[in-house]
Chains A and B, each alone.
Chain A
Amino acid sequence: MDKKKKENSIEEFTNQEYKWGFHTDIEQEMVPKGLNEDIIRLISKKKNEPQFLLDFRLKAYRHWLTMTQPHWSHLDIPRIDFNDIIYYAEPKKKKEVRSLDEIDPEILETYKKLGIPLEEQKALSGIAVDAVFDSVSVGTTYSKMLGEQGIIFCSFSEAVHTHPELIKEYLGSVVPWRDNYFATLNSAVFTDGSFCYIPKGVKCPIELSTYFRINAKGTGQFERTLIIADEGSQVSYLEGCTAPQRDENQLHAAVVELFAHKDAKIKYSTVQNWYPGDKNGVGGIFNFVTKRGKCDGDNSKISWTQVETGSAITWKYPGCILKGDNSIGEFYSIAVTNNHQQADTGTKMIHLGKNTSSTIISKGVSAGKAQNSYRGMVRTSPNAINARNFSQCDSLLIGDQCGAHTFPYIDSKGSTATIEHEATTSKISDQQLFYLQQRGIDPEDAVTMIVNGFCKEVLNELPMEFAVEARKLLGVSLEGTVG
């Protein structure tokens, strides 16, 4: 294996294969292409929404019309034609779906292929799943069992009907409808997503999970997730995503809002594996997501863990507003980019309360011609007495055509704040690869092993079942990066 050969194979990436790229042939009901008030009214009508929600959508839409698509320095984003997108697609129902038994077998089959059985008895032990297929939720497992403890876990659309008062109170309370270009767009056209409410003092006994799947062609996915943890409650929530392989770019612009009351804890984990495009950078998902949590009450805690391996472009900054005194925000991130993928991700920690603390651990892995940026903001207000932040941003490069960038912004008005930032950039060394190979480990496994080691602190934060998946995913995402 001479040097030349090795460089060539680093360029090739031919092995890279997206294993979730199949398409499910199913009759879809769609609204016409394009975006205008009529489309929004149509979506709202299809979902039989109350007036306040339509008003929310229209308010957002009218504001969105006055906004322009943002431009980011380290991302190369083609112009998106928002009138060339279908804003609503749902699998055609034969009749009203009342229970999981009535879900179209084709869809059940799709989720089975993805490793997510929806039939309750076969469901992953200890994980309740809400599955979102294009624009609608197709089934939520375990909701009855959870209901006995007063936990509400259902699709967003269902919650609109069963708990309109909660939606009215919390929707937009963390991510306002005028927040940013894509969040505002989402507020206008969001279709479905998950809703979760944990009552006072209840510790959710199982992991809650949503699985997002984009299937229909030419559609965008605009899901909306809202999680509310009432006083002293606890919940761990997982989110996974995949999409078929197509040579067009598809837009995914989600909004996730987390609201933690006094003494509540929310842990939100994501494994994002949308289709990344082919090795020449054709196709793939544009993943522009606004995720934010509010530690509203004292002693509350919100923890974000994300493993981002998919999408052509990822743009997301899950953040925490630390309003309650002694509240804690955490962000653990692994972002892997290969071929022509671009990721610009990080977090925002806004310290408002006293003795608030935040921890940021970011691991960026780049291979091929990919670009990977960490962009993070830590802000401490004058009232945030004794606020503390620790940030560590490490980048790992595989090959020499990729890039890693770190942009930490610190805005520290309170002089009592302690803010620490550490950053490192390293390359997988030939010595490391050779050492592992000398011990019988093949080169691809060696890369996976080194990357897993590099990401360890973050992988340790994932719930067990997800950690195993994530480890495998890291390997698959980097297949073909060494020869």
Chain B
Amino acid sequence: MNSLSYVSIMKEWDIVAARQMGRELSKQIGFGTVDQARITTAISELARNIYLYAGEGQICFEAIKTLDQKGILIIAKDNGPGIKDLSQVMEDGYSTSGGLGAGLPGVRRLMDEFDIETEVGKGTKISTKKWVR
């Protein structure tokens, strides 16, 4: 594994920095325009959730490889309040902030693999992968 890098999310504009880094890396890995847009949007959702609900956290990027595939791994982690009802949060339209509630279910559809670990009072870690087709 290589290309490990991260962006700290503290201010709203850090979301843009994370997006840019993700777009750049996915371009390097060889993703097409549509997948670049998908990855960038997914990062935007994860970073904004950190900014809105946890206050601060990190978005980490990694270029990943298997024998026959190349891809990107994105990890969003924070030490925020955690998520109480995971199954609810993964449903379209559920939001505690008056948003569309499309962020997390959207990220799952935008990416190929999606994994969420969360503990109330401790924080949230979301790992998600996309493979080059």
B is a partner of A:
no
**Which residues of A are in contact with B by a Cβ distance under 8 Å?**
none
Binding site for A on B (CB under 8 A): none
